[in-house]
Structure 1
Amino acid sequence: MAEPDAVRITTARRSAADDMRTRQRRYALSMAIRTVCFVAAVAVGPGVLRWVLVAGAVFLPLFAVVLANAGDTRDDGFTVPGGPGAPELTARDGED
């Protein structure tokens, strides 16, 4: 029986705490940019730039939430025994 390959550090996932911290920072940065867009839209005055900034302030939360919920998608090659693709046990003919 062959031994499983060692997990490479480049494919290993980050810890849950580190992943959560990264998501929180990404979300906070997006909300800071949103605040800047809103304040700049008020300060700029009428014109096309104001509407671009308002659009940024309105739609940035959508993207911020999607990015914050995007977790670490690296595959470390680890599978749970009995997970998807595992063979199932079946009853023999005449047995229930």
Structure 2
Amino acid sequence: MRKHGGTEVFRITGARQGLADDVRGRERRYVISMAVRTLSVIAAVLLWNVERHVAVVALVLGALLPYVAVVIANAGREKPPALPSTFVPTATRQELPPAEAPPEARTERSYGQS
């Protein structure tokens, strides 16, 4: 955060997604995985007498997918790719070294001595 003319300037390029959008995305992933699970169980039932090996694979997929879907849905909010700095740094100004005195000003003066 930097004060620029009395107003505060914030950098939000690395801000996380809003909470409502994050929950909506996790719900969408859960519904999609449950739809895949339903399709795999239906495929297992339909293929049981035709191609038993494929039906067993579909049944195992249908049995394991709910656990994976719940773990993914409850994983929490995403992490930002990199934590942005909370303020915009001001430009540093280089300090000039002290000026050299001209040669005539370098003479030693003795005050109060005669």
The structural deviation recorded for 1:7 is 2.8
Residue 30 of structure 1: aligned partner: 33
One-letter amino acid matched to 2:62: A
Q: Percent identity?
A: 37
Is 1:52 matched up with 2:37?
no
The structural deviation recorded for 1:77 is 4.1
Of Structure 1 and Structure 2, the greater strand share is in 2
TM-score (norm 2): 0.58
User: Whole-Å Cα distance in 2 between the matches of residues 53 and 15 of structure 1?
Assistant: 36
Q: Which runs of 5+ in 1 are unaligned?
A: 80-96
Q: Which runs of 5+ in 2 are unaligned?
A: 3-8, 87-114
User: Whole-Å Cα distance in 1 between the matches of residues 43 and 73 of structure 2?
Assistant: 24
Q: State the number of aligned residues.
A: 76
TM-score (norm 1): 0.68
Larger Rg: 2
Residue 73 of structure 1: aligned partner: 79
Residue 62 of structure 1: aligned partner: 67
One-letter amino acid matched to 1:17: A
Pick aligned residue for 1:15 from 15, 18, 23: 18
Residue 89 of structure 2: aligned partner: none
CA separation of 1:78 and 1:19: change in aligned 2, threshold 3 A: farther
**CA deviations over 1:55-94 (Å, ceiling 9, x no partner):** 1000001110111112222154478xxxxxxxxxxxxxxx
SS of the residue aligned with 1:38?
Answer: helix
CA separation of 1:16 and 1:5: change in aligned 2, threshold 3 A: closer
Of Structure 1 and Structure 2, the greater helix share is in 1
